Structure 1
Amino acid sequence: MDWFWLMVWWFAFVMYLVVLFQIVADLFRDRQLSGWAKALWMIALIVIPFLSGMVYLIARGRGMGQRQAEQMSQARAETDAYIRTVASSTPATSPTAQVSEAKALLDSGAIDEREFAALKAKALA
């Protein structure tokens, strides 16, 4: 039975740490809160951690969720923009263009007939 209660306490402690780290991250993410207010919240979280954590979640929990959602949507938009730029930098060529490029390589002597046939079959596949 001691192991069970040990696991319960460890679970509670880890959950407290997760909430505490979320609160600290939200404090530094909030642009509307002044530096002095952030410092006071940090002091409160160090001196009376459980009480100040609960007060923070009750008083600023809704804004905390909104800031997290904004950060996630901004990260998604940045990722989508990056993917669009990478995808557009290598435009897909048509099979006809690929065959003509292979023919140009064949005519210049860079590849032989066998390689040309392989590139042509790959482009038309």
Structure 2
Amino acid sequence: MYLAYDYPLLNVFWTMLWFFLWVLWIILLFRIITDIFRDKDMSGWAKAGWLVLTILLPFLGVLVYVIARGKDMGRREIAQARAQQRDFDAYVREAASGGTRPSSVDELARLSELRSRGDITAEEFDRAKALVLTDDRTAPSPDPRPGRS
């Protein structure tokens, strides 16, 4: 009946603080374990050593890991986020364009037709054909006719 008197407000505060710190500790431990496996520069034995250290001596292992590799841990996470964003942007561009991109054969056929109609010269055809065959698609393809881009 008088349970509130048995557990004062300050004890509730300390319990909540310790619970919050415990949850924070678990999150940090899982982020470190994820980072151990994410690091491509670390050998298998080094990964195993860090993993054993963080599991058998969790407080010391996590503290040493954060001190020794904390800066690189952030860099790896940023690199992974950028790679995911790049992949997502490429997927969106591909989906927005309908997923169809003219093949090299289609482009060569179009160039051949332009040459046969006389719209481009043989030299322009050879230059454009070389671009198609090297699959240089990073730059927008200019109009092969001189003075028209």
Q: Superposition pairs for residues 66-85 of structure 1, below 5 Å?
A: 66-85=75-94
Greater relative contact order (Cα < 8 A, sep 6+): 1
TM-score, normalising length: structure 1: 0.70
Q: Superposition pairs for residues 27-42 of structure 1, below 5 Å?
A: 27-42=36-51
What is the count of residue pairs matched by the alignment? 91
**Distance between the aligned counterparts of 2:17 and 2:98, measured in 1?**
53
Aligned identity (percent) is 44
| Structure 2, gaps ≥5 residues long | 1-9, 100-149
TM-score, normalising length: structure 2: 0.59
**Distance between the aligned counterparts of 1:3 and 1:66, measured in 2?**
38
| Structure 1, gaps ≥5 residues long | 91-125
Q: After TM superposition, what 4+ stretches of structure 1 lie above 4 angstroms from structure 2? A: none
**Distance between the aligned counterparts of 2:34 and 2:90, measured in 1?**
25
**Residue-by-residue CA offset, 1:32-58 (whole Å, 9 max, x unaligned):** 111111111111111111111011001
**CA RMSD of superposed structures (Å):** 1.4
Richer in helix (by share): 1
Deviation at 1:22, TM superposition (A): 0.7
**Distance between the aligned counterparts of 1:21 and 1:47, measured in 2?**
14
Matched, 1:15 2:58: no
Equivalent position amino acid for 2:72 in 1: G
Equivalent position amino acid for 2:66 in 1: L
- Which secondary structure state, in structure 2, belongs to the residue aligned with residue 33 of structure 1? coil
Q: Superposition pairs for residues 79-94 of structure 1, below 5 Å?
A: 79-89=88-98
**Distance between the aligned counterparts of 2:51 and 2:33, measured in 1?**
8
**Distance between the aligned counterparts of 1:61 and 1:46, measured in 2?**
18
**Distance between the aligned counterparts of 1:18 and 1:41, measured in 2?**
17
